Structure 1
Amino acid sequence: MTDLPIERHDIEGHDGLPIAVHVVGEGRDLVLIHGYFSNAWTNWIRYGHAAALVAAGFRLIMPDLRGHGESGKPHDVAAYQPDALTDDNLALVEQMGLTDYDLGGYSLGARTTVRMLARGATPRRVILAGMGLRGLVQTLDNGGYYRNVLTNLGSFERGSSEWMTEAFLKTTKGDPVALLNILNTFVDTPEDIIAGFQQPTEVICGTDDDSNGNAQELAHILPNGRYVEVPGNHMNAVTRKELGQAMVDFLTA
């Protein structure tokens, strides 16, 4: 379902960069952060997750990360300092006056959520989807893969993983220069910091997704973590209705 009455808001990122924020629904505030190469529409709206959450009584606040979607995509490397995505989303929480809210993300969005928690964000509940422990404590583990894709576009064998990643980049109309710079923003979060997060946390991952390490391992070290498996791999689990349903079930329990 994509015909939701979505409102676009613009906030200022930590350095004044315009950040597009898509808002829909009424009820409890839920901030959802999309993954790398993606955007709010592709991650949350296109496959019905937003509609399911709105129907469950939530007001969704879905930013496009800098370098993605409808947000600013500067090519200057200075716009991509370590933790820039975290700074932007902490600014979102402040500028939108959020005090009692839930927070979650998919892949890079989950990593950004963890960085926000490490930096003092205080959501009531947390969703970490498409993310394992390794992807948080060794954030550039996949960096070489993405750097290779972004610097060798058009050279990959049809059907290969790199070809599929490039195809996804085309569907989201991603900016390769901005996205390459995004790699500079990644910051590791030590395991002992993650193990200190007290919020009820649902770790959701595709059955065939080990792109960011072991998601069950992540759920296990969280004091109030639980693991939920949905069908699919890293690229297609986000398209499955089971992902949105798992989020609804957790947040309405």
Structure 2
Amino acid sequence: MSEPTMTIVDSFDGTPLAVHRMGEGRPVLMLHGLFSDANTNWIKYSHAERIAQAGFECIMPDLRAHGHSGKPHDPTFYPDDVLARDVAAVLNRLEIEAYDLVGFSLGARTAVRAVVSGLAPRRLVLSGMGLQGLAGWNERAAFFIDAIDRFDEIKRGDPAFFAAAFMKTMKVDRVAARALLQSVSDTEPHELSRITMPTLVLCGADDRDNGSPEELADALPDAQHVEISGTHMSSVTEAALGEEIAAFLD
């Protein structure tokens, strides 16, 4: 298996987005989680390699304000649903019409927003996500904004300690991240009827950070729930994550 390549494409507003690619075959667009990047979620633990070996081309953008993508500080670069608009822009710039769509955590929220906004992947994978995680974003965003605002004073034992530690590890641009957190839109339960394609809800057995994956699967027109080992953070390291995605897409 060849090493992943990286190209830069301009989004709808000119913001450069880094897109990592691996494999050949049917395109599968893979969206990572908050404060992470394509390498950490998909490449480092060989998920992309497993999916590519199943006959797919893994297309893995670093989301805006993450990884090698642009991190503008001007709040005007973070309109509502900006990440979903970036997804559509990547597909347009790469001239991809037939594809599957995969998201983990914030990537799953983004995938849902993209489909609700009109994208139509053949199959959809929502990982690290439950029903309650798709709405009520303001409360969750407030937790991370507080962690950003108190970044230098957070000590072990503080509820925000692990979030701050992960931001430090990932060298997160906190100004850009703070602006991005305020751009994420909620998905209300009635909007889920628009997600008609076969969907896999894939979650760690000990991951309820974003609510109930069982309830999310039940709320979608054509979905199944699969459980793997791990918490919200550790499930990303499990080989089963990539294996289950590959099996579902295949």
For Structure 1 versus Structure 2, the TM-score category normalised by the shorter chain is: over 0.9
Partner of 1:69: 67
Partner of 1:203: 201
The answer (yes or no) to whether the contact 2:115–2:194 under 8 Å persists in 1 is no
Instruction: Give the unaligned 5+ runs of structure 2.
Output: none
Residues 42-61 of structure 1: per-residue CA shift (max 9 Å, x gap): 11001110111111111010
Residues 179-233 of structure 1: per-residue CA shift (max 9 Å, x gap): 1111121111221111331100000111111111111111111111000111111
Letter in structure 2 aligned against 1:131:
M
Letter in structure 1 aligned against 2:82:
A
Partner of 2:3: 5
1:183 aligns with 2:181: yes
Shift in Å at residue 5 of structure 1? 1.6
Deviates more, 1:122-131 or 1:7-16: 7-16
Coordinate RMSD, CA, aligned: 1.4
Q: Percent identity?
A: 42
Show the 5 A alignment for 1:43-192: 43-158=41-156, 161-192=159-190
Secondary structure class of the residue paired with 1:173: coil
Residues 26-46 of structure 1: per-residue CA shift (max 9 Å, x gap): 011000001110000011001
Letter in structure 1 aligned against 2:124:
V
Instruction: Give the unaligned 5+ runs of structure 1.
Output: none
Measure the CA separation in 1 of the matches of 2:2 and 2:200. 26
Letter in structure 1 aligned against 2:153:
S
Partner of 2:25: 27
Letter in structure 2 aligned against 1:225:
A
Normalising by structure 1, report the TM-score.
Answer: 0.95
The answer (yes or no) to whether the contact 1:38–1:69 under 8 Å persists in 2 is yes
Residues 126 and 196 of structure 1, relative CA distance in 2, 3 Å threshold: same
Secondary structure class of the residue paired with 1:181: helix
Secondary structure class of the residue paired with 1:123: coil
Normalising by structure 2, report the TM-score.
Answer: 0.96
Letter in structure 2 aligned against 1:88:
D
Shift in Å at residue 159 of structure 1? 5.7
After TM superposition, the runs of 4+ consecutive aligned structure 1 residues lying more than 4 A away are none
The answer (yes or no) to whether the contact 1:4–1:51 under 8 Å persists in 2 is no
Residues 95-132 of structure 1: per-residue CA shift (max 9 Å, x gap): 11111110011011001100110111010000000111
